[in-house]
Amino acid sequence: MQLFRLTAHELHDLLVKKEISAEELNLAVFDRVEAVDDKVKAYVTLTKERALEQARSVDRQIHSGEKISPLAGIPVAVKDNICTDGILTTACSKMLANFVPPYSATVVKRLDGAGATMVGKANLDEFAMGSSTENSAFFVTHNPWDTERVPGGSSGGSAAAVAAGEAICSLGSDTGGSIRLPASFCGVVGLKPTYGAVSRYGLIAFASSLDQIGPFSKDVTDCAMMLKVISGHDPLDSTSAKYSVPDYTGFLRNDVRGLKIGVPQEYIAEGINPAVREVIEKALARLEALGAHVEYTTLPHTEYALSTYYLIAPAEASSNLARYDGVRYGFRAQNTDDVIDMFMKTRSEAFGPEVKRRIMLGTYALSAGYYDAYYLKALRVRTLIKQDFDRAFEKYDLLISPVCPTTAFRIGEKTDDPLEMYLSDVCTISINLAGIPGMSIPCGFAQGMPVGLQLMGRHFDEATLLRAAYTFEQNTDYHKAVPEL
């Protein structure tokens, strides 16, 4: 039995039945990391001692007959832009290559509280800016299905770790598709929760009004378990909503009868890879066969989403990244003339090209004389995009689309063309602008590479997403496919 191939809920059963120990499970996952991470490069930091200590503590609980929580002892990877007390948290930037936070993010505390063990910190595009993990200052993560290809981004390390069996579940963050895109490319389940559902305290901010932490897993049940643990109001984060967290696993019913599903035609427009389109259409037919009402609909402002996003997100980023000035922590340029020179050289030397590009875009959009024409206008269009969704959800319980018009592309294929790279997010960014939940589940393969189906729901209606996703999963086998490494 290859423990690293199992899901969290399967492993939980084995732990409770004492057929395996948490230590054994964690050692199995670290063995797997040892065996394949040279090829995948999912992790930037491993935390084996910490994980084994956590695992032994879970074993003691089991041994003394205590009831353990569903994630107890389960090895989880954490994206390296989420702060971990006493453990390097780099955002995969040269700027923070030596940064050890004195505190943990709320989600990390919640996972710790649930007894989950942390395998390590997963690779990402520098400061979560990118769609391929090629912008990591350290190295590229490879897609476990084809190591010549990218895993998607920016949470590429988190997605690849789960797909490769180097973690059972993981955490990512999603500002414009950074969970859903790599989930789609790597053939795993990924969920971006409603904005405000999960605390952002300890998540290194990229674009504060869009960033949201969410889980990766091998199946929908694990996704619901992870979501339950990390969700809920956090008094340390003003943007976290006050709501009662439901028991998401309770919504996992194999039943979509009567569910009204809208398919925004703009998301399956020209530019979509025909093989991907075929997979999506087959998935829609499957849902219809299972009793859902599926019809095409429209989100008319979709064409403005990309430009809106590339004004709002960089504007916020230009401000959020201003703190990296070499004064207090992180990288500081040497041999500088004065404080201004230190600021400039520090930032010039330690930020990568994509981060600089976005800081410049954002600075420009916020500048006097351009603010109204760019930033303010983008905020107005954002409202229109939200209203598109509001109107759609008056009619439909759920919207479905592809996550990306293509499957995982080759490493280096798009690095010279930022615009082409940005187009990878064309189906995912509107969801962040609207603040609604979005999910990617495996729905088939195109030319041997996984294709993700995107499910979009009403604010705080993760339940409907999970139910539809679970039903699809129960009636298909795509989630069971594993890459050979």
Partner 1 sequence: MSNYEAVIGLEVHVELKTHTKLFCGCSTEFGKEPNTQVCPVCLGLPGSTGVLNKKVVELAVKAGLVLNCKIGTYTWFDRKNYYYPDLPKGFQISQVFRPIAYKGYLDIDINGQNKRINITRAHIEEDPGKLIHSGGSIMTSHYSYVDYNRSGMPLIEIVSEPEIHSGEEAGAYLEKLKANLEYAGVSDVKMEQGSLRCDANVSVRPVGTTALGTKTEIKNMNSFRAVQRAIEYEVERQIEVLEDGDRVIQETRGWDENRGITLSMRNKENPDYRCFIEHELPPIELTPEWIADVKGTIPELPDARRKRLVEEHGLPDYDAGVITSSLALAEFFDAALKKYPDAKTISNWIMGELLRLLNARNMELSEAKITPDGLAALLELIEKGSISNKMGKEVFEVMFEEGKDPGQIVKEKGLSQISDEGQLSRIIDEVIAKNPKSVADFQSGKKQAVGFLVGQVMKATKGQANPGVVNAMLREKLAQ
Query: Residue 307: left (phi > 0), alpha (psi -120 to 50), or beta?
Result: alpha
Rounded to whole angstroms, how far apart are CA atoms 438 and 192?
5
Picking from 194, 227, 180, the residue whose alpha carbon sits closest to that of residue 441 is 180
CB 79 within 8 A of CB 122: yes
What ranges make up the beta strands (E) of 21-159?
43-46, 75-79, 117-122
Report if residue 96 touches partner 1, rule: CB under 8 A.
yes
Between 95 and 299, CB nearer to partner 1: 95
Give the number of residues in contact with partner 1, rule: CB under 8 A: 46
Q: Shortest approach of partner 1 to residue 385 CB, angstroms?
A: 16
Q: Shortest approach of partner 1 to residue 238 CB, angstroms?
A: 5
Interacting positions 247-266 with partner 1 (CB under 8 A): none
Residue from the set 75, 151, 193, 202 that interacts with partner 1 by CB under 8 A: 202
3-state secondary structure of 46: strand
Hey, how many other C-beta atoms are within 10 angstroms of the C-beta on 367?
A: 12
Q: Could you give the dihedral angle defined by the CA atoms of residues 390, 235, 51 and 61, in that order, rounded to the nearest 10 degrees?
A: -110
Residues with a catalytic annotation lie at: 79, 154, 178
Residue from the set 99, 243, 304, 445 that interacts with partner 1 by CB under 8 A: 99
Report if residue 238 touches partner 1, rule: CB under 8 A.
yes
Identify which range of 15-23, 27-35, 255-263, 336-344 contacts partner 1 by CB under 8 A. 336-344
Assigned token pair, 245: 């967290």
Residue from the set 7, 89, 158, 428 that interacts with partner 1 by CB under 8 A: 89
Identify which range of 6-14, 318-326, 385-393, 437-445 contacts partner 1 by CB under 8 A. 318-326
Residue from the set 70, 73, 75, 101 that interacts with partner 1 by CB under 8 A: 101
Residue from the set 28, 87, 91, 455 that interacts with partner 1 by CB under 8 A: 91
Q: Which residues contact 297 (CB under 8 A, 6 or more apart)?
A: 262, 263, 264, 265, 392, 395, 396, 399
Residue from the set 220, 315, 361, 439 that interacts with partner 1 by CB under 8 A: 315
Helix ranges restricted to H, 88-139: 106-113
Instruction: Tell me the torsion sign for CA atoms 102, 106, 110, 116.
Output: negative
Q: Shortest approach of partner 1 to residue 302 CB, angstroms?
A: 23
Identify which range of 75-83, 255-263, 409-417, 470-478 contacts partner 1 by CB under 8 A. 75-83
Residue from the set 138, 243, 304, 329 that interacts with partner 1 by CB under 8 A: 329
Binding mask 365-404 for partner 1 (x = CB under 8 A): -xxx--x---x-----------------------------
How many Å is the Cα radius of gyration of the chain?
21
Instruction: Look at the chain and count its residues.
Output: 485
Assigned token pair, 312: 């709002």
Q: Shortest approach of partner 1 to residue 317 CB, angstroms?
A: 12
Instruction: Tell me the torsion sign for CA atoms 293, 298, 299, 304.
Output: positive
Q: Shortest approach of partner 1 to residue 342 CB, angstroms?
A: 9
Residue from the set 83, 87, 167, 189 that interacts with partner 1 by CB under 8 A: 83
Rounded to whole angstroms, how far apart are CA atoms 343 and 159?
35
Q: Shortest approach of partner 1 to residue 202 CB, angstroms?
A: 4
CB 129 within 8 A of CB 135: yes
Identify which range of 79-87, 273-281, 426-434, 467-475 contacts partner 1 by CB under 8 A. 79-87
Residue from the set 72, 168, 203, 259 that interacts with partner 1 by CB under 8 A: 203
Picking from 210, 195, 204, the residue whose alpha carbon sits closest to that of residue 90 is 204
Q: Shortest approach of partner 1 to residue 110 CB, angstroms?
A: 15
Query: Residue 119: left (phi > 0), alpha (psi -120 to 50), or beta?
Result: alpha
Q: How far is CA 78 from CA 39, 58, 69, 123, in A?
A: 19, 19, 19, 9
Rounded to whole angstroms, how far apart are CA atoms 485 and 470?
27
Q: Shortest approach of partner 1 to residue 152 CB, angstroms?
A: 23
Which residues of this protein are in contact with partner 1, per CB under 8 A? 81-83, 89, 91, 96, 99, 101-103, 105, 200-205, 208-209, 235-239, 315-316, 318-319, 321-325, 327-329, 338-340, 343, 363, 366-368, 371, 375
